[in-house]
Structure 1
Amino acid sequence: MGNEVWIDKIQIIEGLDQETKMLSVNSFGIYFQQQAKTDLVVHFKPLNESFSKKAMSGVKGLLFNFERDLIEEDDIEYALDIMSLFNQSPEIHLNQIEQVKQLQKVIDLVVGEYHNPNASYIMLKTLLKVLMLNLIRFWNRDFIKQDLNQKRLFQFLEMMEISFMYQTNSSYYAKQIGVSEKRLNQILKEKLNMTAKQIIQQRQITEAKRRLVKSEITIKELAFLLGFDSFSGFSRFFKKAVGESPSEFRLHYR
């Protein structure tokens, strides 16, 4: 698989500031700041959010930015672990020499494959997964203090990731979390500057794009799979969000 297939799904660059462009709003970001040989700070940018101001200060680091496609091709448990890591941990501070050495080795492997003219998509994705699994292992939930609304945000994102194909009403998620629909939207607007409906629709678009490119599903089947009552309703929804019809999108990326 040539570089042109994945080049728009991941970028690795040095430095981070307010002018740094992410691949998209709906992408993950990790920023590694090496303070010393035994001191590494790892900052996280969840989906639909930005890096904290703290990440943009201090020593120059290395930015890994990748689209959610790179984790969605694997099992749901892994994807949820990633969601947990990014949504509950603004940063991880590693100061044990073995941890730092181990993580640096994997970082070097990912960077090396990324810059390899003959880079393999499968190899790059596998190395990225190894990096993420190491970060999950080092992550200590109890060390990260969360407010109640942050926990509710995580609950919503986790449930939505599992249920968005058949539950598209925000009232369902509000009921499961134990808050009113209005309160859920207030929390999401405060944390992500989006309503529950907007986040669900964004997830539907991401899934629709993935299936249009990677599967042979018909557009009519996809419409009903994503909870739409009609083919025409789905087509209008997709074109408004993407700028082209589902069939045009599929033809373009194939």
Structure 2
Amino acid sequence: MTAESPVPVFKLYGEAESWSRPDLLHCETIESRSRLHAWSIATHRHADLAQLLYVRSGRARARMEDWQGELRGPFLLVLPPLCIHSFAFEPDIDGEVITLALPLLKLLRQRCGSGGQGLFQRPERLLPQGVEAGWLRQLVGRLVQEYEGRATGREIALQGLLDNLAVWLLRQRLREGSAAVSSRGESLLERFLALVEVHFREHWPVARYASELGITAVYLNALCQRLVGSNTLTIVHQRLLLEARRLLLYSASSVAEIADVLGFVDAAYFARFFRRGTGCSPSEYRRSAL
């Protein structure tokens, strides 16, 4: 199977719907999801998410793009957006899956400086040993504990822990000194998603995105359908909805102020857009989360 072949695209494994969580981070044990699928995760990929699969102990058979083999913990797998992957776990597997949405990836890359653009650009297999293995085990444990709790300063603590993890990944990558290789279609999609991150509040038409990429709107739409399973406009709208949910939950701004920040001409138009995408009004969504 090549990178251009049809492969199921999920948010989390088995979930093809939009990323509904206001957090840009998701953590869960490997057991919690793989148990539901007889310890086997079929071939799939994620369009706008990256994942870290951390195993403390236990064995797994893994496939990442063209590589496949058996691994024994401790190990960490880096799965960038669009990476084709599958797993078969032993039932005694002990570890976590850490999922990062695209806006969080962008932030981590920025915070890592000039070398940060290389983060999550290619699949990686990391086998920490000795002191480094203990450090990584402790860091992931603290990250999961902070994620599952609701203590004061949770977001600040999570960001600090993720920063530490990102710097460690960057140093591992620089140590190896290898580069990412993407197909032309995947490279175009990555560039499109990067443009969406910068311009989603400006409500660019699809033709504008296509023009910036040097392709036609028809080709861009076909590319998104093939690699992501959604059309171009839906991808942009899902990014707007994600930002709207976060602002409703994590800011004191009024609905009208949020509408303005997100580039809507008025609050009524924003409310209709939000209801179409979520099934409830902005005010109802905010109340339901309190």
Indicate the TM-score class for this superposition, using the shorter chain for normalisation: 0.7 to 0.9
The answer (yes or no) to whether the contact 1:220–1:231 under 8 Å persists in 2 is: yes
2:98 pairs with one of 61, 65, 79: 65
SS of corresponding position for 2:202: coil
* Structure 1: distance between partners of 2:273 and 2:253: 18
Which structure 2 residues correspond to residues 1-254 of structure 1 after superposition, within 5 A? Answer: 10-15=26-31, 17=34, 19=37, 28-33=50-55, 35-36=71-72, 40-44=75-79, 46=81, 52-53=85-86, 56-57=87-88, 60=93, 62-66=95-99, 68=101, 71=104, 77-78=110-111, 85-86=119-120, 88-89=121-122, 91-94=123-126, 97=129, 102=132, 105-112=135-142, 114-115=144-145, 120=151, 121=154, 122-139=156-173, 142-254=178-290
Name the CA distance, whole Å, in 2 between partners of 1:228 and 1:171.
Answer: 19
Superposition RMSD on alpha carbons, in Å? 4.0
For 1:75 and 1:32, how far apart are their aligned partners in 2? 19
Q: Helix, strand or coil for the counterpart of 2:201?
A: coil
- Contact 1:9 1:69 survives alignment (8 Å): no
Structure 1 alignment gaps of length 5 or more: 1-5
CA 1:153–1:104: 2 relative to 1, 3 Å: farther
Contact 1:204 1:226 in 2 (8 A): yes
How far residue 104 of structure 1 moved from its aligned partner, in angstroms, is 5.3
Mapped partners of 2:204, 2:275: distance in 1: 19
Q: 1:182 to 1:144 in 2, by over 3 A?
A: same
2:275 partner amino acid: K
Of the structure 1 ranges 206-215 and 71-80, higher mean CA displacement relative to structure 2 is found in: 71-80
Structure 2: distance between partners of 1:50 and 1:76: 18
> Would the alpha carbon gap of residues 75 and 93 (structure 1) be closer, same or farther in structure 2, given more than 3 Å must change?
closer
Amino acid at match of 1:52: H
Structure 1 residues 121-160: Cα deviation after superposition (integer angstroms, max 9, x where no partner): 2334421331133223433685432111111111111111
**TM-score after normalising by structure 2:** 0.66
Quote the Cα distance in structure 2 between the aligned partners of 1:226 and 1:214: 15
In 1, the alpha carbon distance for the partners of 2:194 and 2:145 equals: 34
Shift, 1:201, TM fit = 0.5
Q: Which amino acid aligns with 2:268?
A: S
Between structures 1 and 2, the one with greater helix share = 1
Report the secondary structure of 1:64's partner residue. strand
In structure 2, stretches of 5+ residues that fail to align are 1-21, 57-70
Secondary structure of the residue aligned to 1:164 is helix
Q: Which amino acid aligns with 1:40?
A: F
Rate the CA distance shift 1:82–1:226 in 2: closer, same or farther, 3 A. Answer: farther
Q: State which drifts further: 211-220 or 68-77.
A: 68-77
Identity %: 20
Q: Displacement, 1:236? A: 1.4
Displacement of 1:177 after TM fit?
0.7
For 2:213 and 2:136, the matched residues in 1 are separated by 37
More strand by share: 2
- Between the aligned partners of 2:277 and 2:112, the Cα distance in structure 1 is 24
TM-score by length of 1: 0.74
Moved more, 64-73 or 10-19: 64-73
